[in-house]
Structure 1
Amino acid sequence: MRKILYFSENYDIVFQGDLKGSKRYLEDSEKYVCRFCGSTHKEATFTKDAHAISESIGNKSLLSYSECDECNKIFGNGIEDHLGKFLLPLKNASAIKGKNSKPTYTSPSNESRIDFKDGTMNIHNLENNPFVEIDNLNKTMIINYVTTPHIPAAVFKAFVKFFLSVIKEDDFRNKFENVTK
C-alpha cells in the first residue's frame, strides 16, 4: 500500500484510456516547439501525426504537437524501427496491429510464417520444422520465435523518446531538456 501511495503522491496520470480511440494531443497546439531539436513552427513543419508512443506498437491516438516532421521522420525510420523489430514476436503473438496491419512473422529459414486473415491467426509451417512444436497429448503448442536483428541501444532510445514525449512541459524544460541536446 505504501508503494501505491508513493506513486499517487509523486506522479500524475498524463493519459488513461484506449490507445486505439480518437486522437488525443498531449499539449497545446498553439506552441509548436519541437522537444527534440528545438525548432519552432517558423523553422520547421508540424503537419504529420507525431505519435507520442510509436504507432508501430499499437498506439493510434496519443499524439504530440511537440515533435516536428523532420524529427518524426528520423525517429520513425530509425530508433522506432529497431523497437518494432525487437518487439515483432510479441506483437505477432499478441495480434497487435501496427501502422498498417497486424504483423506477419516469418521464421529465419523462411519455411514458416504466422499471419492474420479475417481476425484469425494462420500458422504456415512445414512438417517437422522446429519453428512450431505441437504436443497433442498435452494440447499445447510452442512457437519458437527468433527476434529480428536490431540495435539494442536504439530500442532503449525509443523508450526514452516515449518518456520525453509524454512528460509534462514544465518537467521537460526544468529537468530533461538537456537530454535532447
Structure 2
Amino acid sequence: MSTPPEATLESPDYAIIAMVQGSIGEPAVALGTKGRCRFCGQTEPRAFRNVAHTLPDAFGNKWVTSLDECDACNASFGTFDDALVKSMGAILTVGGTQGKGNKVRQTGRSDGPASIRHRIIDGKRSISMRTNGTPFSDHFGVKPKTGELVFRIPGGTERFIPARAYKALVKMAVALLPADELPNFTKIIAWLHSTDDDLLPHMIVGISFSTIGNSPPLLAAALLRRTSSNLDTPYMLFVTTMGSVCLQIVLKADSQDGEWPSRLRTRPNIRWTNMLAPTGEEPLALVYDYPVHLDWGRAGLEPPVIEAIVTAVHPQTGQGHMSAVLRKSALAPSPS
C-alpha cells in the first residue's frame, strides 16, 4: 500500500529484512564481523577491545552486542543512549528494568519534589511513589464511573537532548543493517558524528507501550524495507521494543527516498507484537499500542517525555494498572 507524504503508515507494504531478539534463557547474539567499524571505518585491531551493546544496556540488554563498533564510536554513542534513558527514566523504574550492574534506575531525588523507587523486599517487587511540597489533590483522585482510586506521580525532572536520543535510535538501526544495505545509508551514518545542532528534517519518533509496571525481560529490534517502488513510502523503517516501550523511526536513506536529507513527512505507525515464551510456560503475546508521535528535532535540554505515571487501583478488588502520560510539549504537531 502506498502512502501519501502527509499520511500515517496504517498498513504499509513492508517486509522484515533483519531482526534480533534477546531474553532470559536465550543465547547471546553478536552482530556484524569484527575487524572494521561500520560507523567510522576503523580497522585497527586494538580499537575493538570493549563490548558494544547494540541496544542500550540501561534498557535491560544483556544479550545483543555488535562486533563491528569500535571503542571510540562506542564511547561517543554513549551520550546518545544516556539521552534516550533520561527521556523516559520513570518507565524503567516502575518496570524494574535492570540496567548496568543489574541495578534498577531510580527516578527523582528523595528530597526533591517527587520520586519513584523500585525495591525488592522478601523476593517481591515494591514500587513506592512520593511527592513533597505539593497539594495532595494534585496527585490523588477517584474515577466516578469505576470507583477506582487514581494516583498521579510526576515522571521526573532529569532533562535530555532530543536530537541525541534520536541518534540513539539511528545508531541501533545502522547496527542492524545487512552489509549490502550499508551503501544506501552512508550519509546518515556520517551524520551520527555531527554536532547536536545539525538537525535533519522531520525527526519524528513513534512511541507506544505494552504492560507498564512490570517490564518484560525482552528486547527486540527490526528493520522493515518497503516492497514497492513508490518514493512516497519510506524505504526503511526501524522498530525496537525494549521492555514496556516500543520506539520506531523512518531511517533516512541516501537517495531511495528522494533528495538527501529526505523530507518525507510520513510517520511510522506500526503496531508491534512480541512473543515471550518462557521455558515450560504458555507463550505470552506482548502487544504494543499504536504509536503516538514525538518531535525529537531539537538540540536543547528538555524535560523527560514521560510527564507522569498514573496508577489506578480498584479499592474492592485490589486490581490496578499503570499508564504513562506523555508531555504535550514533546508531541509532534498533527500533519498539515
Work out whether the TM-score is over 0.5: yes
Partners of 1:50 and 1:67 within 8 A in 2: yes
Matched, 1:14 2:23: no
Q: Give the letter for the 1:37 counterpart.
A: C
Q: Which amino acid aligns with 1:25?
A: A
Q: For residues 48-127 of structure 1, what are the structure 2 equivalents within 5 Å? A: 48-76=50-78, 78-100=79-101, 101-106=103-108, 110-118=112-120, 119-126=125-132
Partner of 2:185: 176
Matching residue of 2:164: 154
- Residue 25 of structure 1 and its aligned partner are, at CA, apart by 0.6
1:39 and 2:42 are equivalent in the alignment: yes
Q: CA deviation at 1:162?
A: 0.8
Report if aligned partners of 2:140, 2:150 keep a CA contact under 8 Å in 1.
Answer: yes
Q: Is the 8 A contact 1:34 1:40 kept in 2?
A: yes
Q: Structure 1 counterpart of 2:151, which letter?
A: M
Shift of 1:163: 0.7
Q: How many Å apart are 1:130 and its aligned residue? A: 5.8
Asked whether the 8 Å contact 2:115–2:130 carries over to 1, the reply is yes
Q: How far is the alpha carbon of 1:41 from its aligned partner? A: 3.4
Q: Could you tell me which of 99, 113, 133 is aligned with 2:139?
A: 133
Change (3 A) 1:58 1:18: same
- Name the aligned partner's letter for residue 139 of structure 2: E
Structure with the higher fraction of residues in helix conformation: 1
Q: Which runs of 5+ in 1 are unaligned?
A: none
Aligned to 2:31: 26
SS in 2 for 1:163: helix
TM-score using structure 1 length = 0.79
Is the 2:22–2:64 contact (alpha carbons within 8 Å) kept by the matching residues of 1? no
Structure 2 distance, partners of 1:99, 1:131, is: 37
1:142 positional shift = 1.5
- Bigger strand share: 2
Distance 2:136 2:49 in 1: 47
Deviation, 1:17, is 4.3
Q: What is the Cα-based RMSD across aligned positions, in Å? A: 3.0
Aligned residues of 1:80 and 1:155 also touching (Cα < 8 A)? yes
**CA separation in 1, counterparts of 2:96 and 2:37?**
33
- Contact 1:19/1:59 (CA < 8 Å) preserved in 2? no
Distance 1:128 1:180, change over 3 A: closer
SS in 1 for 2:92: helix
Post-superposition offset of 1:70: 1.4
Q: Residues of 1 paired with 2:161 and 2:50: CA distance? A: 26
Aligned-pair identity in percent equals 24
In structure 1, distance between residues paired with 2:86 and 2:36: 30
Give the direction of change, closer, same or farther, for the CA distance of 1:108–1:169 in structure 2 (3 Å limit).
farther
Aligned residues: 174
Using the alignment, how far apart are the partners of 2:126 and 2:38 within structure 1? 40
1:168–1:6 CA distance, 2 compared to 1 (3 A): same
* Contact persistence 1:91–1:103 (CA under 8 A): yes
C-alpha distance in 1 between matches for 2:135 and 2:108: 13
d(CA) in 2 for partners of 1:54 and 1:15?
14
Task: Give the superposition deviation at 1:90.
Answer: 2.2
Rounded Cα–Cα distance in structure 2 between residues aligned with 1:132 and 1:41: 57
1:130–1:144 Cα contact (<8 Å) kept = no
